[in-house]
Structure 1
Amino acid sequence: MTSRKLGLALALALAAGTALADPSPAKKALIDKIVALQQQGLAEGLAANIIQGPLSQLTQAGRAALQQVPADKREATAKAMDGDLKKFVEENVPYLKDKISKAVPNTASALLDERFNEDELKQILAWAESPVSQKFGLASVELQKAVAQKVMSEAGPTLDGRLKTLQANLAKQLGLQPPPAAAPKPAASTPKK
């Protein structure tokens, strides 16, 4: 998970706005190689994370508000909302990737220069360029997806129920009318013998 830790360190440096230090030419060459290896993945991951936070909150609020829409207009409204969300992502993720890509070199270089000596940078670079590291990086992505799917298949219904309870409690506290409860589904009738 070394590349993940490095990516997180680079992201933290980006957020902190660390200024570029003046490393030796040999150290700068190592840092430049590491930054180049990490830059694309960092831009992708960080842009997605920045967008996901507000979108998750907005989506949850939208789902709650959607329950107040008349039933005959709900599906069309949901599709329109999905379209707006998709458009927002399509417009803003590339924008953020560009901003991050421009900020990473100086910011990450300063962090790497500050935290690692030349020998450590050589080790990081050797690991990052190794086939095992690349294979591990791909496996890590797949592992995260597999774990997330398993957890959500088991915990998703419970979390959905808890979220609905929270939304109802918040609506009650705000004096809003809670979304109508779903009518209980009739039990499947068993054929008479």
Structure 2
Amino acid sequence: MKKFKLALLTVALAGSSMAAMAQDKAALIKQFVDVQRPGIESLARGLVEQSSAPIAQAGSQYLQSQVPEAKRESAAKAADAELKKYFDDAYPIVRDKAVQLAPGALTPLLEQNFSEEELKQLLAWINSPLSKKYQDLNPKMQTALTEKLVAETRGTIEPKMRALDENVAKALGAPTGGAQQGAAPAKAPAKAPAKK
């Protein structure tokens, strides 16, 4: 009977110890994700800036080639104001969604790839072989979060990008409504040389 009680007590202690370890690991992962918030916000900032970059570049090219020099400064300021308005509107949406999605996107990768002790070392960020392991995993974590973030914010951000495109075009005095900007007129096909 004593052996049975001892075995039962051992099993109970092992079970509670494992549950505590799982809670400790979960707490370490939550702490790690919280520490990563500036990087997550930076990722969101980069995505928003990247999304408007083609519009800004096209606007700049149009400004230099199509807008009279006398109107360029005011048109550039108006376009910059539209770009800033877009960023100020879109960034909080993407940032907040990134922060919201980060635990779900990153936790499985961290649980699968790091032990509790490694998470402690990672949080302390000591120069060690662990640093290399984290750096190797980091692109996968960013990809996982980026994919989820883009999927979750696409419906909200794409209409804003279309509005930004229209507003920048208007600010620059460029054609709007899907007209090709700066497109060269179609050339007539070259005539074949006459046969002699």
Instruction: Tell me the TM-score normalised to structure 2 length.
Output: 0.51
Matches of 1:58 and 1:24, distance apart in 2:
48
Matched, 1:175 2:184: yes
Question: Could you tell me which residue of structure 2 aligns to residue 73 of structure 1?
Answer: 71
Q: What root-mean-square deviation, in Å, do the aligned CA atoms of Structure 1 and Structure 2 show? A: 2.2
Equivalent runs, 1:73-152 vs 2, <5 Å: 73-127=71-125
- CA deviations on 1:135-175 (whole Å, 9 max, x unpaired) are xxxxxxxxxxxxxxxxxxxxxxxxxxxxxxxxxxxx99x52
Q: Which amino acid aligns with 2:50?
A: G
Matches of 1:54 and 1:101, distance apart in 2:
19
Matches of 2:77 and 2:125, distance apart in 1:
46
Q: Which amino acid aligns with 1:28?
A: A
- CA deviations on 1:95-154 (whole Å, 9 max, x unpaired) are 1111111101222111111111122111112228xxxxxxxxxxxxxxxxxxxxxxxxxx
Cα drift, residue 81 of structure 1: 0.2
Equivalent runs, 1:8-47 vs 2, <5 Å: 24-39=22-37, 41-47=38-44
Matches of 1:90 and 1:43, distance apart in 2:
17
CA contact (8 A) 2:49 2:87 kept: no
- CA deviations on 1:65-87 (whole Å, 9 max, x unpaired) are 11201222222111110100011
Matches of 2:88 and 2:36, distance apart in 1:
23
Q: Which runs of 5+ in 1 are unaligned?
A: 1-22, 129-170, 177-193
Q: Which amino acid aligns with 1:45?
A: S
Matches of 1:70 and 1:30, distance apart in 2:
59
Aligned residues: 110
CA contact (8 A) 2:40 2:98 kept: yes
Cα drift, residue 93 of structure 1: 0.8
Matches of 1:108 and 1:88, distance apart in 2:
28
Q: Which amino acid aligns with 2:89?
A: E
Matches of 1:97 and 1:43, distance apart in 2:
8
Matches of 2:48 and 2:84, distance apart in 1:
11
SS at match of 1:34: helix
SS at match of 1:175: coil
Matches of 1:95 and 1:112, distance apart in 2:
25
Q: Which amino acid aligns with 2:119?
A: L
Q: Which amino acid aligns with 2:115?
A: N
Matches of 1:69 and 1:35, distance apart in 2:
48
Between 1:80-89 and 1:48-57, the stretch displaced more is: 48-57
Q: Which amino acid aligns with 2:60?
A: R
Question: Could you tell me which residue of structure 2 aligns to residue 183 of structure 1?
Answer: none
Larger RCO, structure (CA 8 Å, separation 6 or more)? 1
